[in-house]
Amino acid sequence: MSGSSGGCCQCCFSFIFTVGLTALFMWLSLRTSKPSCSIKYFYLPALNKTLNDTANRTLYVSLILNNGNKDKGIYYDTVNLTFSVPNNTKPVGNANVTKFYQGHKKKATKKVDLGSDKLNWTAVSGSVNATGWSHFRVDLVTRVRFKIIFWRTKRHNLKVGADFVVNASGTKDYKKDIKLSAADYQLASYSRQLWVLLNFLVFVLLNPW
């Protein structure tokens, strides 16, 4: 009798252990990581003091999108980029990358050029200090779907950003790639809201009823 009871317990334990391993394997298979995004190259010739020529107001940017998932591809919707400078409610410029698919463990380099017709030069020139340096910000917004074998997941929002310094040569001062993060995007969103609120309060104070 006791032997039968022990065998039953052993079978139950084996069953639970097998189910647990299966659940763990499925969770590992379905778990996804959002791609990492970074700015590899940033150059605005009009800010290059050695050239002493503001005629070329094209902004040249190189964006890196890295899919670190071991066995999952990524479908990107249109990738929207917004460039801005501090204390200016209007963006310096907007650009986008056409939607595309990226295989697992693949890295994509997307080059984006913003011509003078798409660049808010007034905002750019107003942000440059006496040394020729300026502060910029880039925000990236898109939606992604993951391909798991033959199945595609629902769309997930991807919103990341970063602040960086542009030197007197018109390039990003940070030599390494500028990594865009979700925390920086959220902080910038709160900062923009606060800036709008402060402007509204100043307007109310200067224009009493």
Per-residue pLDDT tens for 162-185? Answer: 999 999 999 999 999 999 999 744
Whole-structure pTM value: 0.75
Residue 151's pLDDT is 86
Provide CB contacts within 8 A for 42, sequence distance 6+.
Answer: 59, 60, 61, 62, 136, 164, 166, 171, 172, 178
pLDDT tens figures, 119-134: 999 999 999 999 999 9
What is the mean pLDDT of the segment spanning 75-95?
Answer: 93
Please say whether the beta carbons of 149 and 127 come within 8 A: no
Q: Map residue 50 onto helix, strand or coil.
A: coil
Q: Which residue has the higher pLDDT, 12 or 113?
A: 113
Going by pLDDT thresholds of 50, 70 and 90, the confidence category of residue 209 is low
Q: Which residue has the higher pLDDT, 73 or 8?
A: 73
What tokens does 37 get?
A: 């995004």
Going by pLDDT thresholds of 50, 70 and 90, the confidence category of residue 24 is very low
The C-alpha atoms of residue 124 and residue 54 are separated, in whole angstroms, by 11
CATH number of 33-206: 2.60.40.10
Going by pLDDT thresholds of 50, 70 and 90, the confidence category of residue 117 is very high
Per-residue pLDDT at 37 exceeds 70:
yes
> Which residues, listed in sequence order, are joined to residue 113 by a DSSP beta bridge?
60
What is the pLDDT of the chain when averaged over all its residues? Answer: 82
Query: What percentage of residues in the chain have a pLDDT greater than 70?
Result: 73
* Interstrand relation of 107-114 and 59-66 (parallel, antiparallel or unpaired): antiparallel
Per-residue pLDDT at 208 exceeds 70:
no
Going by pLDDT thresholds of 50, 70 and 90, the confidence category of residue 65 is very high
Per-residue pLDDT at 161 exceeds 90:
yes
The closest of 104, 89, 192, 106 to 149, measured between CA atoms, is 104
Per-residue pLDDT at 158 exceeds 90:
yes
What is the mean pLDDT of the segment spanning 105-125?
Answer: 94
Provide CB contacts within 8 A for 105, sequence distance 6+.
Answer: 67, 68, 69, 70
The C-alpha atoms of residue 192 and residue 209 are separated, in whole angstroms, by 27
Could you count the other beta carbons within 10 Å of the beta carbon of residue 142? 22
The C-alpha atoms of residue 13 and residue 4 are separated, in whole angstroms, by 14
Where are the chain's structural domains? 1-31, 33-206
Q: Which residue has the higher pLDDT, 148 or 9?
A: 148
